[in-house]
Amino acid sequence: MNSVILNEDTALPAPANLAEALARAAALRPALAQRALATEAARRVSATTLAELHEAGLFRLLQPARVGGAELDIAALVEVSAELARGCASSAWVLANLASHHWMLGMWPQAAQDEVWGASGETADALICASLIFPAGRAQVCEDGYRLSGRWTFASGIDDSDWVMLGAIVGEGGRESEQHDPDAYADIPGEYRLFLLPKGDYSVRDTWYAAGLCGTGSNEVSVAAAHVAAHRSLPLTAVQGGATPGSPINPGPLYRIPLLPAFGYVVAGVALGIAQGALDLFTGDNRDRVTSYSGRRLSDFQAVQARVAEASASIDSARRLLLGDCADIMAGAARAEAPVLLEKARLRRDAAFAAQLGRRAADLLFDASGGSALFLAHPAQRALRDIRAACSHIALNWDAAAAVYGCVALGHSADLPPYER
């Protein structure tokens, strides 16, 4: 287990439902907001924040019920991370990522799940980090498993995790290099697989000096010829929708969701919450604020009123889009249907578009906030940087998602990994 010490007297069981999860997140939000500047300066979430998230049971939103998890629908992660991001985007980003890996692990063979959580859930609080940049790693088949090497970036929350999931290519396709294009899958041969490694089998390099989401500790992970047992590796062809190796013990629809098409919904809630937090701040601070030069109330300007209207409409639209798609994802998983290529492209498109709506809202509000928002202690400038960082995630990158959808919709071939075509 990691260094976070849980208070067994105050720790709560996993939330019984979404309302309970949201109430717990809302209760934590003021403290997260108070620590946001310190979290940014530290470049990682504090032990206090991690302990509070643990004790509220929020890391276990998508964890199987059989080991004490909440096993809520994927929409719960969108809504809870949005609530937390209204206070601190970095803390919400770490929560969303680490909680999602409990969902992912539920699709693995039982032996891998038992190794992480214990056969009866005795180590179910273990945190799992991930980096799914497949070309960053290479693996070779060896006796009883695989030999894995590589270097992966953007491993959010890695310093506080007990395990890591890494994407790599089995065969000659993977590569270790300072320069690689994680999106250029089309011409890379080999089998795309996930690998699960315990702390001790990888090293962490402190590289996270970033302009946004500064407190996520999204450092670099290195692996040098580590042996990975066969049960701790999973082919991506096994998580395209429908039954998975974990289905015999986790038969619920949550663990039949196609992994990659749904991944944007893991982090899109953070962008939504950043935008909502910016709106909360703007409407609260500026209701009676007087401008420095004219002496008029800022809220009396029609242009400001119009910005508030457009920003709030953008946020509401993004929320409806994300939650509607989450309902579609769960319905398809309940029918054990793997989505067709156009549906996969639509899910990617919608997650990225929702994030763009949030970014538009944050831009509108920042531009109306005046010079005071430029100071580094002001939350408005942090929201501007954080939402841009969120939108740079490959799952929320609008240019990439729009190009894939347009290609598929128009009957062209899309630059997608072989297992996603």
Give percent above pLDDT 70 in the chain: 90
Model confidence over 290-329: pLDDT tens digits? 665 566 777 778 998 999 999 999 999 999 999 999 999 9
pLDDT higher than threshold 60 for residue 173: no
pLDDT of 285 reads 73
How far is the C-alpha of 349 from the C-alpha of 345, rounded, in Å?
A: 6
Is 259-420 assigned to CATH 1.20.140.10?
Answer: yes
CB 21 within 8 A of CB 80: yes
The verdict on pTM exceeding 0.75 is yes
pLDDT of 308 reads 96
Q: Which residues pair with 149 in a beta bridge?
A: 138
How far is the C-alpha of 406 from the C-alpha of 413, rounded, in Å?
A: 10
How far is the C-alpha of 372 from the C-alpha of 291, rounded, in Å?
A: 11
Mean pLDDT within 365-391 = 94
How far is the C-alpha of 421 from the C-alpha of 418, rounded, in Å?
A: 6
The one-letter code for the residue type at 388 is R
pLDDT of 253 reads 97
Q: Which 3 state secondary structure label does DSSP give 128?
A: strand
How far does Cα 171 stand from its chain's mean position? 29
pLDDT higher than threshold 50 for residue 73: yes
Give percent above pLDDT 90 in the chain: 83
The answer for residues whose C-beta is within 8 angstroms of residue 360's C-beta and 6 or more apart is: 310, 311, 314
Confidence of residue 181 (pLDDT cuts 50, 70, 90): very low
Q: Which of 67, 44, 70, 60 is nearest to 100 (CA)?
A: 60
pLDDT: which is higher, 284 or 52? 52
**Among 252-256, 329-333, 353-357, 414-418, the least confident range:** 414-418
How far is the C-alpha of 153 from the C-alpha of 176, rounded, in Å?
A: 12
Model confidence over 189-220: pLDDT tens digits? 689 999 999 999 999 999 999 999 999 999 99
What are the tokens at 348?
């990617």
Please give the class, per CATH, of domain 18-117: mainly alpha
What are the tokens at 211?
């302009």
Angle, vertex CA 415, rays to CA 413 and CA 421, nearest 5: 70
Is 291 buried (19+), middle (13-18) or exposed (0-12) by CB count in 10 A? middle
Alpha-carbon torsion, ordered 275, 278, 282, 284, to 10 deg: 110
Angle, vertex CA 283, rays to CA 277 and CA 286, nearest 5: 125
pLDDT higher than threshold 60 for residue 5: no
Model confidence over 38-47: pLDDT tens digits? 999 999 999 9
**Among 54-68, 103-117, 354-368, 404-418, the least confident range:** 404-418
Q: Which of 414, 302, 318 is nearest to 359 (CA)?
A: 318
pLDDT of 372 reads 84
Is 128-238 assigned to CATH 2.40.110.10?
Answer: yes
**Domain coordinates in residue numbering, the chain:** 18-117, 128-238, 259-420
pLDDT higher than threshold 50 for residue 362: yes
pLDDT of 300 reads 79
Query: What phi and psi, each to the nearest 5 degrees, are found at residue 287?
Result: -60, -40
Rg of the chain over Cα atoms, rounded to whole angstroms, equals 21
pLDDT higher than threshold 50 for residue 177: no
By DSSP bridging, strand 219-229 and strand 203-205 are antiparallel
CB 257 within 8 A of CB 344: no
pLDDT of 299 reads 77
pLDDT of 188 reads 56
Query: What phi and psi, each to the nearest 5 degrees, are found at residue 347?
Result: -60, -45
pLDDT higher than threshold 60 for residue 230: yes
Confidence of residue 129 (pLDDT cuts 50, 70, 90): very high
Cα end-to-end span (Å), the chain: 38
What are the tokens at 380?
């408005």
Query: Which range in 171-175, 211-215, 280-284, 291-295 is most confidently predicted, on average pLDDT?
Result: 211-215
Is 392 buried (19+), middle (13-18) or exposed (0-12) by CB count in 10 A? middle
The answer for residues whose C-beta is within 8 angstroms of residue 18's C-beta and 6 or more apart is: 72, 73, 75, 76, 79
**Among 77-81, 132-136, 241-245, 336-340, the least confident range:** 336-340
Mean pLDDT within 284-290 = 72
pLDDT of 296 reads 73
Mean pLDDT within 386-405 = 96
Mean pLDDT value across the chain: 91
Confidence of residue 186 (pLDDT cuts 50, 70, 90): very low
How far is the C-alpha of 256 from the C-alpha of 330, rounded, in Å?
A: 9
Place of tokens 């929702």: 354
E strands, 180-333, are: 191-198, 203-205, 219-229, 233-235
Angle, vertex CA 88, rays to CA 84 and CA 92, nearest 5: 50
Task: Compute CA distances 180 → 50, 115, 136, 139, 183, whole Å.
Answer: 33, 32, 7, 17, 9
pLDDT of 172 reads 61
